[in-house]
Chain A
Amino acid sequence: MSDSQLVARAVAGDAAAQRELYEAHVDRVYRLAYRLAGDDELARDFTQEAFIRAFDRLPSFRGDSAFSTWLYAIAMSVALNGLRGVRRLRTREVAFEGAESLGHTPRRADPDLRDRLYRAIDDLPTGYRTVFVMHDMEGYTHEEIGEVLGIQVGTSKAQLFRARAKLREALADFAGAWTA
Chain B
Amino acid sequence: MSDDRFDEWVREAAEGYNHPGPVPREAMWQAIAAARRSAEPSGDAAPDHRLRGPRTSGTPIWRLAAAAMLLVAVGIGIGYQMRDGVAPQLATAPAASAPSMNPEPITGYEVKAAEHFTAAEMLLTSFQATRDAETAVAVRDWARSLLSSTRLLLDSPAATDEQRRRLLEDLERILVQIMQLAPDAPASDREYLERTITRGEVLTRIRTSIPAGLPSGT
A binds B: yes
> Which residues of A approach B to under 8 Å, CB–CB?
19, 22-23, 26-27, 30-31, 34-38, 40, 43-45, 47-49, 51-53, 55-57, 78, 81, 84-86, 88-89, 113-114, 117-118, 121, 132-133, 136-137, 164, 167-168, 175-176, 178-179
What are 27 A-B contacts defined by CB distance under 8 Å? A22-B29, A22-B32, A27-B23, A34-B20, A37-B18, A45-B196, A48-B35, A51-B32, A53-B188, A56-B36, A85-B176, A89-B169, A89-B172, A114-B13, A117-B10, A117-B14, A118-B16, A118-B18, A136-B14, A137-B11, A164-B7, A164-B10, A167-B10, A168-B3, A175-B1, A178-B10, A179-B5
The total number of A-B Cβ pairs within 8 Å is: 107
By Cβ-Cβ distance, the 9 closest A-B pairs, closest first, are A178-B9, A34-B20, A38-B18, A30-B23, A85-B173, A35-B18, A136-B11, A118-B17, A31-B20
| Option from B10, B11, B13, B20 in Cβ contact (under 8 Å) with A30 | B20
Within 8 A of A (CB), among B13-71: 13-18, 20-21, 23-25, 27-29, 31-32, 35-36
Within 8 A of A (CB), among B145-195: 169, 172-173, 176-177, 180, 188-189, 192, 195
A86 surroundings in chain B (CB, below 8 A): 173
Within 8 A of A (CB), among B127-157: none
A133 surroundings in chain B (CB, below 8 A): 17
Residue of A nearest to B151 (CB): A92
Residue of A nearest to B173 (CB): A85
A31 surroundings in chain B (CB, below 8 A): 20, 23
Given contacts A56-B188, A57-B188, A114-B13, 7 further A-B contacts (CB under 8 A): A31-B20, A48-B32, A49-B195, A88-B176, A89-B172, A164-B6, A179-B2
Residue of A nearest to B12 (CB): A178
B27 surroundings in chain A (CB, below 8 A): 44
A81 surroundings in chain B (CB, below 8 A): 189, 192
| Option from B13, B14, B28, B172 in Cβ contact (under 8 Å) with A47 | B28
Chain B binding surface, main DSSP class: helix
> CA–CA, A52 to B36, complex, Å?
7
> CA–CA, A176 to B5, complex, Å?
9
Chain A binding surface, main DSSP class: helix
Residue of A nearest to B15 (CB): A137
B23 surroundings in chain A (CB, below 8 A): 26-27, 30-31
> CA–CA, A138 to B100, complex, Å?
54
- In this complex, the member of B18, B29, B196 whose beta carbon has the largest number of chain A beta carbons within 10 angstroms is B18
